[in-house]
């Protein structure tokens, strides 16, 4: 189940600030990776949502397109490339900047992801500097 950034219902001021914040959907079956990425993204002032596979992510995107998607490749139910191809075919599905975040490091695989519509590509392991650098490449920070 895709979950919104948690906590109690925000005050109107907090809500109006959030409207101006960029949103990033983290799609990864590893809870630890989601947690690490969430911490970095929140420090960069993103509002973060999470999904554990491509199918959950697609459900989320159909209700609300995020500004950015951090996308794992190998996941149960629906993998990252399958999700990306479907996303790009959806209404408004070309707008999110999609950054792969995966242990796949073969140039052939990277080209495949780019051909499927990825904007950037990050190889695990990563750190805050690398994620920020990739977000900068896509014009998000």
Partner 1 sequence: MTATFATAHVEHLAAVLKAVSGFVLTPDKHYLIEPRLAPVARRYGMASVEQVLGKLRTQPDEELIWSVAEAMSVNETTFFRDKAPFDLLRDEVAPALAGRRAGGRLKVWCAGVSTGQEAYSIAMLGAAAGLDLEILGTDFSQRCLEKAVAGVYTQFEVQRGLPIRQLVEHFDKQDEMWRANARLRQSVHWRKQNLMGDFRGLGPFDIVFCRNVLPYFDADTRRTVLEKIAAVTAPDGFLFLGVTETAMDSDAFRPAPGRRGLYARDPEFRLAA
State the residues that interact with partner 1 by CB under 8 A: 105-107, 110-111, 114, 120-123, 126-127, 129-130, 133-134, 136-137
Using the minimum distance from each CB to partner 1, give the nearer residue, 75 or 122. 122
What the block records as the tokens of 92 is 């408004």
CB of 5 to partner 1, least distance (A): 27
Helix axes 80-89, 107-115, angle to 10 degrees: 20
Using the minimum distance from each CB to partner 1, give the nearer residue, 9 or 108. 108
With tokens 């993998």, the residue in question is 79
28 and 34 Cβ atoms separated by less than 8 Å: yes
Name the burial class of residue 42, with classes exposed (0-12), middle (13-18) and buried (19+) by CB atoms within 10 angstroms of its CB: middle
Using the minimum distance from each CB to partner 1, give the nearer residue, 59 or 105. 105
CB of 137 to partner 1, least distance (A): 5
CA 72 to the chain's CA centroid: 9
Using the minimum distance from each CB to partner 1, give the nearer residue, 3 or 127. 127
98 and 137 Cβ atoms separated by less than 8 Å: no
CB of 36 to partner 1, least distance (A): 15
CB of 64 to partner 1, least distance (A): 27
Contacts of 105 (CB under 8 A, 6+ apart): 123
Using the minimum distance from each CB to partner 1, give the nearer residue, 83 or 121. 121
What the block records as the tokens of 135 is 């977000």
What the block records as the tokens of 134 is 């990739």
CB of 99 to partner 1, least distance (A): 9
């Amino acid at each position: 189940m895709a979950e919104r950034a948690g906590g109690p219902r925000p005050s109107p001021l907090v809500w109006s600030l959030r409207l101006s914040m960029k949103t990033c959907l983290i799609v990864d079956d590893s809870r630890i990776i989601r947690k690490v990425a969430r911490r970095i993204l929140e420090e960069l002032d993103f509002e973060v949502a999470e999904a554990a596979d491509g199918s959950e992510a697609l459900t989320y995107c159909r209700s609300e397109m995020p500004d950015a998607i951090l996308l794992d490749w190998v996941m149960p139910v629906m993998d990252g490339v399958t999700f990306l191809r479907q996303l790009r075919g959806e209404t408004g599905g070309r707008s999110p900047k999609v950054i792969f975040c995966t242990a796949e490091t073969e140039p052939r695989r990277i080209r495949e992801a780019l051909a499927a519509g990825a904007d950037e590509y990050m190889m695990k392991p990563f750190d805050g500097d690398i994620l920020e650098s990739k977000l900068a490449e896509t014009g998000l920070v």
